[in-house]
Each structure stands twice: as structure tokens, then as C-alpha cells.
Amino acid sequence: NGDVRLLTPDAVEGWSDLVHCPSQRLLDRLVRRYAETKDSGSFLLRNLKDSERMQLLITLAFNPEPLVLQSFPSDEGWPFAKYLGACGRMVAVNYVGEELWSYFNAPWEKRVDLAWQLMEIAEQLTNNDFEFALYLLDVSFDNFAVGPRDGKVIIVDAENVLVADKKLIRQNKPENWDVWYESKFDDCDKEACLSFSKEILCARVTVDHNYYAICQNLLLRHATWCGTSGGQIHDPPAEIAKDGQLEALLDECANPKQRYGRFQAAKELCEYLAQSTNNVR
């Protein structure tokens, strides 16, 4: 409807992971940053042509990945591939490099650096100045790539990203909104298993989902991909294996034994990995 002024939560809630629990602040950001219109920069839906509005809504419903890349762009430091443009339903993004899996048997120092970057990504998406929590619902080795020159880890599959507005959660105060939420370890025999509740991700301010997803599916020794297990930092040097600290932190990050143990383990693991490669950035 060309007379509608704004794209509102009640109109699109649940259409896709991106807008499973949308706030007006998020939707205004999506419309304002929608690149396939000459009036880019306005959050007013009625300023879009009928065809532009229809394309935006169809994209939002069927594959919101382009909207994630536009709304949280790499140029502003978000860890996603750079959105270049679209022609109809064909989207172009920059080529980042080989997928993370290609580095499974890289030298130890390289794999530690990549693991540290993964934990940094988990932290950035969970806690940032914009107070949008971006939760990765699909975490596997082929959803990340590594730049061949700078060695930077980038998310190259952003289709299954749920965005929760922490400001809205604090404002509405749903039940247990301020209780820290701990994700449950999913001990399954398949690749890239994750156990989560979208409703809880949308209703809590403090959630450990991203730490859990990275540790369980990419770093833990039980992480499995392409029939191979061991995780990104498998087979540590003898002195590190003997020390046992790294293994203990990984275990606590994936399957915590103490209450809120994953939050602390994720912080300590990130520090441990940074110190191991002198990556104090």
C-alpha cells in the first residue's frame, strides 16, 4: 500500500529470522539502508516506488541476507561480506577468500589466530554500541571465510541471523528479561548442531548463544565437519596440551559445568587465544 508511511513490526514479524522479533528501530534501519532505491537514506516506506517496496518485502520474507549485509555493513566494521549491489534477484558481494574449513590443518599459530577472531566476532555480535544483538542460527565451517591477504575472518552466509533489539527488551520488560540466559549444550551426532529458542533470544538482554555456537560447532574437539572431528584448534602443541587450560576453557565454553560458566569461559578463552598469538588489538 503506497499510503503506508512506515514498515511496522506487526506487518512483518516472523517473516524470517531477521524479523522474528523486529523493533521499529530495526525496521527503520532496514528501510533507510535499503540500497535498491534512489531514495536510499529515508526510513519512510511510502517514499519507495511500488516495485522497490515489493522487492524489499519479498527479500525480507524469502532471503533477508542482502538486508543484513546492507543494514550492518562491513564498511562500519561489521564482520560480514561487503554488499556490492543487485540486479533483480541476483545479489553481488565481494569475494572474501577460501572458507574456514580450508584452514583446518593450517599451522597451529594460524588456527589459534582464526579461533581468536571467531570469539571476537561472537562478542561483537552479542555486545555492541548499537544495542542490537545479532544471533547466528547457522554456524558451520562453510559459513565463514578468511581473507588471503589480511587473514581476517568474515561471515559469508548471513541468511539465518536473528536480530534482537536490546533497547526494546529493556523497554517492554518481558518475563525474566534481565535474567542471564545460558544455552543448552546439544550433544548430537550430526554436523553443525545448535539448540536454541528464538523466543528466548528475543526476550533476554544477556544471552550466551553466539559464544555457545562458535565453541560447540567450530572450536570444541567434538566439532564435526565433512566427516572430520577435532575442532579448529585440534592437536595443540605438547606443552599446551599438558597444561590443560585451553581444553578446560573450550569444554566450559561449549558445555559449562558452573552457572553462567560459559560467559566467563568465553571471556577467558578470548584472552588466552589473544595472548597465544600476541593479538592484543
d(CA 255, CA 47): 49
DSSP E strands in 64-207: the ranges are: 83-87, 90-93, 98-99, 132-136, 144-146, 153-155, 161-165
CA 226, distance to chain mean position in Å, is: 22
Q: What residues have CB less than 8 Å from 260, skipping those under 6 apart?
A: 180, 182
**Predicted structure pTM score:** 0.94
Cell 516506488 -> residue: 49
Quote the pLDDT of residue 281: 40
CA triplet 154, 60, 88: central angle to 5 degrees?
Answer: 85
Range(s) for CATH 1.10.510 in the chain? Answer: 100-276
| Sign of the dihedral defined by the CA atoms of residues 146, 147, 150, 152, in that order | negative
Architecture of the domain spanning 100-276:
Orthogonal Bundle (1.10)
Could you tell me which of 181, 263, 249 has the C-alpha nearest to residue 220?
249
Amino acid at the residue 185: F
Quote the pLDDT of residue 190: 73
Quote the pLDDT of residue 157: 95
Q: How far lies 280's CA from each of 150, 233, 271, 273, 274, in Å?
A: 16, 19, 8, 10, 6
Residue-level pLDDT, tens digit, the chain, 281 residues: 667 788 999 999 999 999 999 999 999 999 999 988 876 678 888 888 888 899 999 999 999 999 999 999 999 999 999 999 988 778 999 999 999 999 999 999 999 999 999 999 999 999 999 999 999 999 999 999 999 999 999 999 999 999 999 999 999 999 999 999 999 887 776 777 888 999 999 999 999 999 999 999 999 988 888 888 889 999 999 999 999 999 999 999 999 999 999 999 999 999 999 998 875 34
Phi, psi of 29 (to 5 degrees): -65, -40
